[in-house]
Chains A and B, each alone.
Chain A
Amino acid sequence: GENVEQHPSTLSVQEGDSAVIKCTYSDSASNYFPWYKQELGKGPQLIIDIRSNVGEKKDQRIAVTLNKTAKHFSLHITETQPEDSAVYFCAASKQGQNFVFGPGTRLSVLP
């Protein structure tokens, strides 16, 4: 079955700096890769996603890149703000089913 690894497990950055979180997956048939942000006491919320037919996607300060050959994808947050502090999860899925999540990265943006 699918296995998703995520690094780093914790990340601290200064406000205004960039943050990068990386994930790898094992099943080459996975074709949908969402990223979720989870704030304390809340459920995960989708922030950006990418499909296997696209190499990069950007939405304001957030971008995701996908390397299908290497089976890894990354989340990039630029100009970080304190409200970006949360736990971020990557996931891999086939046809919108059988989602497998990474273990999460706790991001702290220091003012």
Chain B
Amino acid sequence: DAGVIQSPRHEVTEMGQEVTLRCKPISGHNSLFWYRQTMMRGLELLIYFNNNVPIDDSGMPEDRFSAKMPNASFSTLKIQPSEPRDSAVYFCASTQSGTRTDTQYFGPGTRLTVL
């Protein structure tokens, strides 16, 4: 299995631009998580989906952030408009929740820099 796949690996954009981060979870996993990691705040859960349905988006910073999961093999995290304080590494993770195997697997992350 290729593991969780994220793209792009690096993104540099200017303030005000729209940014879209993409994630392909591990095949067969039914839960998907988006995290943001910064030096100041560590790993923060932004939103997670179960069976493609958003379960908890209380970690989404503000309305500029939105996430979708149109099918079991794809999710996007969009920031519009982006701001310099959004600069961070964004991780996607997936798991097969509700079973004995609920280990969470992380992707390699997308390093976002907003100038």
Question: For A45, what are the chain B residues with a Cβ–Cβ distance below 8 Å?
Answer: 106
A96 touches B97 (CB 8 A): yes
How many A residues touch the partner, as a band? 20 to 34
Whether B108 pairs with A43 at a CB distance below 8 angstroms is yes
Residues in A with CB closer than 8 Å to B45 are 98-101
Check A101 against B103 for contact (C-beta < 8 Å). Answer: no
What is the count of residue pairs linking A and B with beta-carbon distances less than 8 angstroms?
A: 57
| 24 A-B contacts (beta carbon < 8 Å) | A34-B103, A34-B104, A43-B4, A43-B91, A43-B107, A43-B109, A44-B91, A45-B106, A46-B103, A46-B105, A91-B104, A93-B104, A95-B98, A96-B97, A96-B99, A96-B104, A97-B31, A97-B48, A97-B50, A97-B55, A97-B102, A98-B56, A99-B33, A103-B42
